[in-house]
């Protein structure tokens, strides 16, 4: 793993929050210190709220546990998952910044093939601040990267692109595999560094991973709900993918872009495949119905905001997926509660009121 370096610039340091879900002490932040220290961190503690989570000195951060979730949201706290990394979306709710970067606590600074440390945050910001091209594929990939342009035959009318809502990064070392793949390939590691950023085309879904992810909260924030997972639910480890499927359908409808590729982080450890299988097995069956459902979704033209789109999607989830399992009725209701919570904490009146605070740690 890479060692920290000094003299790192901090773009958008007043416009971006870093959200980290955790059940343990955050020693991993020491390696990220040169990159993360200038930013505000929102720590969402999962599990036992009486446990004391230690954060290294010198970070500007606030920590929320389950008691804080209940205090802030009241009855609407039912939409926030417990004992699952899906709890991270509470951090998306309480943030007041334009951009969010979220990362898991087993992810460390990676190195590119030259041995240089990868500033993942800076690359995500570059991805978000440059347009996406979802309507026509550029064979040199992202034309807004330095040294690249649109290839011959690319329509000039489409070269302005669209705003980028989501930047999806990748992983060196431990790949993001499901439990069956983990079981048949227990020693597989990703050593391939592909120096590319791609816009995911309109109409194409993808399995979004939340461990190295950034998004424009103002453009797509209300759609970044990680669902009902974990304790008391029949499924886990589909939280980020559910958010990705919902968000991608809405991005396509609203002409927003999603990029994937760079940056890479170093994913340090594989989770237990047998535990994962127990969490995933229903999802592995259900996704054969879930994915065709999202592929067939057509949102009404009069849905012109993310909230309107998401509420319409919640109706369709209940209508089309509840025959698969009654869980989807519950999930559809939770999607509505999530939007109510989002509007509650992000209304003009709430913006003008005192901020919602967790425990300050710095």
Q: Are 132 and 161 in contact (CB under 8 A)?
A: yes
C-alpha distance from residue 163 to each of 112, 148, 294 (Å): 27, 19, 22
pLDDT, tens digit (0-9, with 9 covering 90-100), for 88-105? 999 999 999 999 999 999
pTM score, whole prediction: 0.95
Q: Are strands 99-103 and 16-22 parallel, antiparallel or unpaired?
A: parallel
The whole-number pLDDT of residue 3 equals 45
Mean of pLDDT over the chain? 95
Helix (H, G, I), strand (E, B), or coil: what is residue 243? Answer: helix
Name the stretches of the chain with pLDDT < 70: 1-7, 349-355, 360-362
Q: What is the structure's pLDDT at 4?
A: 43
Rounded to whole angstroms, the Cα distance separating 39 from 20 reads 13
Q: What pLDDT score was predicted for residue 349?
A: 63
Rounded CA separation 356/352 (Å): 11
Phi and psi at residue 107, to the nearest 5°: -115, 135
Is the distance from CB of 133 to CB of 257 less than 8 angstroms? yes
CA distances to 89, 100, 109, 181, 251 from 119, rounded to whole Å, are 23, 16, 8, 29, 26
| Other residues' Cβ atoms within 10 Å of the Cβ of residue 274 | 10
Three-class SS of 253-267: HHCCEEEEEEEEEEE
Q: What are phi and psi of 273, to 5 degrees?
A: -65, -30
Place of tokens 């570059």: 126
How does pLDDT run across 28-84, given as a tens digit for each residue?
999 999 999 999 999 999 999 999 999 999 999 999 999 999 999 999 999 999 999
């Amino acid at each position: 793993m890479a060692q920290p370096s000094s003299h790192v610039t901090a773009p958008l340091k007043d416009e971006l929050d870093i959200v980290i879900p955790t059940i343990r002490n955050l020693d991993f932040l020491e390696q990220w210190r040169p990159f993360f220290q200038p930013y505000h961190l929102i720590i969402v503690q999962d599990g036992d709220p009486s446990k004391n989570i230690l954060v290294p000195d010198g970070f500007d951060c606030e920590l929320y546990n389950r008691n804080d979730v209940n205090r802030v949201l009241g009855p609407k706290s039912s939409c926030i998952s417990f004992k699952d990394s899906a709890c991270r979306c509470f951090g998306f709710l309480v943030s007041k910044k334009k951009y969010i970067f979220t990362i898991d606590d087993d992810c460390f600074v990676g190195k590119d093939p030259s041995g240089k440390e990868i500033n993942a945050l800076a690359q995500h910001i570059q991805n978000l601040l440059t347009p996406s091209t979802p309507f026509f594929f550029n064979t040199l990939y992202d034309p807004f990267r330095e040294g690249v342009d649109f290839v011959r035959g690319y329509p000039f009318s489409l070269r302005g692109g669209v705003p980028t809502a989501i930047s999806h990064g990748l992983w060196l070392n431990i790949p993001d595999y499901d439990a069956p793949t983990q079981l048949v390939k227990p020693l597989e590691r990703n050593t391939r560094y592909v120096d590319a950023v791609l816009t995911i085309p309109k109409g194409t879904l993808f399995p979004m991973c939340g461990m190295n992810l950034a998004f424009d909260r103002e453009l797509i924030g209300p759609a970044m709900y990680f669902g009902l997972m974990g304790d008391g639910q029949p499924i886990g480890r589909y939280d980020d993918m559910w958010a990705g499927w919902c968000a991608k359908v809405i991005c396509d409808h609203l002409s927003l872009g999603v990029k994937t590729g760079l940056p890479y982080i170093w994913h340090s450890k594989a989770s237990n495949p047998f535990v994962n299988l127990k969490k995933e097995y229903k999802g592995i069956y259900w996704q054969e119905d879930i994915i065709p459902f999202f592929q067939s979704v057509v949102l009404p033209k009069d849905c012109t905001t993310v909230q309107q789109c998401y509420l319409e999607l919640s109706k369709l989830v209940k209508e089309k997926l509840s025959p698969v399992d009654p869980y989807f009725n519950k999930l559809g209701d939770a999607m509505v509660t999530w939007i109510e919570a989002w509007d509650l904490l992000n209304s003009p009146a709430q913006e003008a009121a005192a901020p919602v605070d967790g425990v300050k740690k710095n």
